[in-house]
Structure 1
Amino acid sequence: MTSPALSVPLGAPIEVAIAILGRSSISSLPVVDEVGAVVGILSEGDVLRDQLPQDPRAHLRAPLPTLARDRTVNDVMTADPRCVTPTTDSSEVAQLLARRGWKSLPVVDDEQHLVGVVSRSDILRVMAVPDAELVQAIDRALIEAGIPSVSVQVSGGHVSVSPDVPELGPAALAVAATVPGIRSVQLAP
Structure 2
Amino acid sequence: MTRTVSSVMTADPVTVSTRTPFKDIARLLTGNAISAVGVLDKTGALVGVVSEADLLPHLWDDPKPRWRDRRLARKATASLAEDLMTSPAVTIDAEDSLAAAAAKFAHTGVRRLFVLRHGKVAGVLARRDLVGVFTRGDADLEREIVDGVLREQLNLGPDRVRVEVRAGVVTVVGRVERRSDIDPVTRAIRELSGVVEVRNRLDYVWNDVA
Q: Which of the residues 145, 149, 156 maps onto 2:167?
A: 156
Over 3 Å counting, the alpha-carbon distance change for 1:146 and 1:96 in structure 2 is closer
Rounded Cα–Cα distance in structure 2 between residues aligned with 1:32 and 1:163 = 54
Gaps of 5+ in 2: 1-8, 63-75, 203-210
Partner of 2:93: 85
Partner of 2:18: 10
Rounded Cα–Cα distance in structure 2 between residues aligned with 1:24 and 1:140 = 41
Partner of 2:142: 135
Over 3 Å counting, the alpha-carbon distance change for 1:163 and 1:109 in structure 2 is farther
CA contact (8 A) 1:83 1:108 kept: yes
Partner of 1:35: 43
Residues 1:47 and 2:55 are matched in the alignment: yes
Q: Give the Å deviation of 1:114.
A: 0.8
Rounded Cα–Cα distance in structure 2 between residues aligned with 1:156 and 1:166 = 29
Partner of 1:179: 192
Rounded Cα–Cα distance in structure 1 between residues aligned with 2:16 and 2:174 = 51
More strand by share: 2
Gaps of 5+ in 1: 56-66
- Alignment identity in percent? 26
Q: CA RMSD in A?
A: 2.7
Over 3 Å counting, the alpha-carbon distance change for 1:98 and 1:24 in structure 2 is farther
TM-score normalised to structure 1 length: 0.77
TM-score normalised to structure 2 length: 0.70
**Equivalent position SS for 2:132:** helix
Partner of 1:118: 125
Report Cα offsets for 1:74-110 as digits up to 9, x if no partner. 1100121221112334334334434544210111134
**Equivalent position SS for 1:84:** strand
